[in-house]
Chains A and B, each alone.
Chain A
Amino acid sequence: MNATSPLRGLAALLLCVSPAAAALRVVTTTTDLADVARAVGGDLVEVSSIASGTQDAHVIEARPSTMLVARKADLLVEVGMELEIGWLGPVVEGARNPHIAAGQPGRLDASATVRRLEVPGGTLDRSMGDVHALGNPHYWLDPWNVRVIATAIASRLGELDAANAARYRGNSADFEQRVDEAMFGAPLVAKLGGDALWQAASAGDVEAALASRRAADPSLPALGGWSAKLRPWRGARVLTYHRSWSYLLDRFGLQSAGEIEPKPGIPPTPGHLAELVASCRTPPVKAILVEPFYNDQAPRLVASQIGATVLRLPLSVGGDAAAKDWFALMDHVVGDLAAALGAPAP
């Protein structure tokens, strides 16, 4: 009896020291996912991102240090849709952490529930460049998708840490509310609720979808937030370097005037740039969006020919000093884009 009790004590001590007592360790591939995970997990989780905000998440190196981070992860959240195809496999394998293997509860593919764009049909091959068979993976600049990601992360954290499931859900609800208010303006969200507004937005123009309600109820608060900020330029054409901005353009009713890259992942050629210059004069393109990690020489050349502004904007949280979190990132991108588009057409 006396001999066993120290053993029991030791066992109890070991059990207490096991990671269950500590915060859940969440590792994300990108800073955007990390920001959402922080918002949802609060002080119950420790979050780190493998990529930094200025890096191109297509081409992260599978450095041993990243394996070390992944080794201790309770949950690995990836963007998915083949964005990390070139490096996440060796990171997970090198980490020797069976909990984060594909299909395990410790692995979350954030793309599983998002709204996807540019899912290609027909036959694909590499002569088309760096095409993603599952659709465009740059989905985190659509606020709806970030809202969905928050829900998914909260639900997964709740599975891994059932005791705090309600707190994760509560945090996620708060985050989603913030997204809704930033998107549509707080007064309108207070009046109609976020879900109703997203329902309206799914048709395209929220304001148009609300027209009948507005007619019936003149006291309905005005549209605010990012939606209001970019609404004057619905239909305006924007040129981008890579198709990293498709979700932003689609959500706010802007149109793509093409890409500086002739094909995804293929650098621009003089002939392609000449075609862009010709096609972007009428109707005029006012803004060219460039990711922090692409050379802006070609975009500047095109901009000088068509009188557009080159916007080198962060694509992810931490992409520049202003993009401190996802809301700041969106404020920054939406604000600069609105400014570059200039006075709205009458």
Chain B
Amino acid sequence: MIRLARGALRPLPLALVPLCVLATTAAAQQPADIDSLRREVAASRARLDDERRRLDELEAQLASLGPAPASSPAAQPPPAAQPPPAPPPPTSAAPTPTRLRLLDISLNGLFAAGASTASDDALALLEAGGHDPHQRGFTVQNVELSLLGAVDPYLKGEAHVVMQIDSSGETNVELEEAFLTTQTLPHGLQLKAGQYFTDFGRQNATHPHSWDFVNQPVIASRLLGGDGLRGPGARLSWLTPAPWYSELMLSVQNARGETAASFFGADGEPIAGHPREHPGVHAPDDMLVSARWLNSFTVTPHATLNLGASAAFGPNGSGNDASTRLAGADAFLKWTPANAQRGVPFVAWQTEIMARDFEAGAFVDETGVAHAAEELRDWGFVSQLTWGFRPRWAIGWRIDRAEGEDSDVLDASLDPLRDRRTRFSTALTFRPTEFSKLRFQHDFDHAPFLAGLPDESTDAHSLWIQWEFNLGAHGAHAF
């Protein structure tokens, strides 16, 4: 340490010269300051000389005490019992092991098993989320391979490849996300480009293994789609200079595909009986444009409140210039005391409300009946409270509500994706470590559309067991 410090000291007087010149130039308007600067330089020189003298003394002392055998007259020959080998100098820190960190790889497996008073056919409609457990017995919800790392000094890259096994036993692989983010843009800006989850509310961009319940909110499945609202595109985010955390995000993505369910959607899939077509992209407004404003406030030193507002606009292909507007608001409040043991206790309350305005175009159906254009409105909310009551254990309650206004084409009460639905859920979660999880959940569903299925009650009780494992890189946790 001493050698190093000495080496660092030598060029210093030289380094001081240009600095002093700079300082002097800066102060040129006030000649009175030159004297004080000169005094300061002199004082600095004196200090440096003192330092150097002190180092010399220390080195001399070190040499006198040091391991050099018999070179120092002061050293007594060591007693026979004392082994003479030199102790390592206290400065010898073990060399930092080098790690080449090119790619963080992890694999997450998320599975469920359950029983329900609802039949498999009914469950397939009730559990509209692409990663929800959707049948009696076992479901492979989400096996996710995540790869991330620094691309170069400017970019980070991240990809999530998801595998699922559907009810017929077929394995599906999908590219859930793959995007880069810039790391060095100035003024709090960040650009994200690739395939990614749209920032709409809090839940949408959350991966299934981070959910607090085994299934996703009903209203999210309806308005944002079973697999969440996502697609290829680019997003600019700005962390504003506001004194609180205030981030603005603006994104442009393709409006087509099953992951843009409220827009062009999957080719040919109708909404409320209105067929949709993808006429191709002709103008900028044929894209899905979304915006989010996220704010965070420190309510008490141990409680944080996030408030967000989101909107998404895009064409839906049900008629000429027919478009969809989504709007949402979300709140997240979390309390964790300062002496929490591994993050527990905590209390977290999360609420999202969202609405959709779907301009459905006029069309003539197969039987030759003409249907007029109409506005279809849907809305819903989800509110959940999670309480980490002892290390490794958490309990949560959730209420879900979703409904849609009637359509002239398809009666909302018969439409599993627009009917007035309510769900109450209770989940008990046990996390042995942060790499595994076991969850028990009860859902009560009230869904009048189920009356349309043979021998089905409009009420359903379901019990789920969910388990998760996580292999590989230690991921960091988003708040």
Instruction: List chain A positions with a Cβ less than 8 A from chain B.
Output: 52, 54-56, 58-59, 61-65, 67-68, 71, 82, 85-90, 93-96, 98, 101, 111-116, 119, 126, 129-130, 134-135, 144, 148, 151, 155, 158, 162-163, 165-166, 169-170, 173, 192-193, 195-196, 198-203, 209, 211-213, 215-216, 265-267, 292-295
Contact = CB atoms under 8 A, between A and B. Distances in A.
Q: Of residues B8, B190, B245, which shows the largest number of chain A Cβ atoms within 10 Å of its Cβ?
A: B245
A64 to B, nearest CB: 3
Nearest to B304: A63
A55 B338 contact: yes
B479 A90 contact: yes
B87 A193 contact: no
B53 interface: no
Contacts of B389: none
A59 B392 contact: no
B306 interface: yes
Interface stretch (B92-100, B129-137, B264-272, B401-409): B92-100
B90 A212 contact: no
B392 A65 contact: no
Given A90-B476, A96-B189, A144-B90, A64 B306 contact: yes
B87 A203 contact: yes
Interface size class of B (residues with CB under 8 A): 35 or more
Given A151-B5, A196-B61, A294-B341, A162 B304 contact: no
Nearest to A85: B474
Contact of A59 (B65, B93, B186, B340): B340
A119 B93 CA distance: 12
Interface of B: 1-2, 5, 8, 12, 15, 19, 23, 44, 47-48, 51, 54, 57-58, 61-62, 64-66, 74-76, 78-79, 82, 87-94, 96-97, 156, 181, 183-186, 188-190, 239, 244-245, 247, 294, 296, 298, 301, 304, 306, 334, 336, 338-343, 391-392, 433-435, 474-479
Given A115-B94, A163-B19, A65 B296 contact: yes
Contacts of B245: 64-65, 67-68
Nearest to A176: B1
B340 A199 contact: no
Contact of B478 (A90, A96, A212, A293): A90
Given A87-B476, A199-B62, 17 more contacts: A65-B298, A65-B304, A71-B188, A82-B474, A89-B476, A90-B476, A115-B93, A115-B94, A119-B94, A126-B433, A148-B93, A163-B19, A166-B44, A173-B54, A193-B57, A212-B78, A293-B340
Q: Of residues B23, B78, B474, which shows the largest number of chain A Cβ atoms within 10 Å of its Cβ?
A: B474
A206 B54 CA distance: 23
Contacts, number: 176
Given A196-B65, A215-B76, A86 B477 contact: yes
Contacts of B1: 113, 148, 151
Contacts of A195: 2, 58, 61-62, 90
Contacts of B5: 151, 169
The list of the 3 closest CB pairs from A to B, nearest first, reads A64-B296, A64-B245, A203-B87
A89 B64 CA distance: 47
Given A144-B90, A195-B58, A96 B239 contact: yes
Contacts of B82: 211-212
Given A88-B476, A151-B1, A199 B89 contact: yes
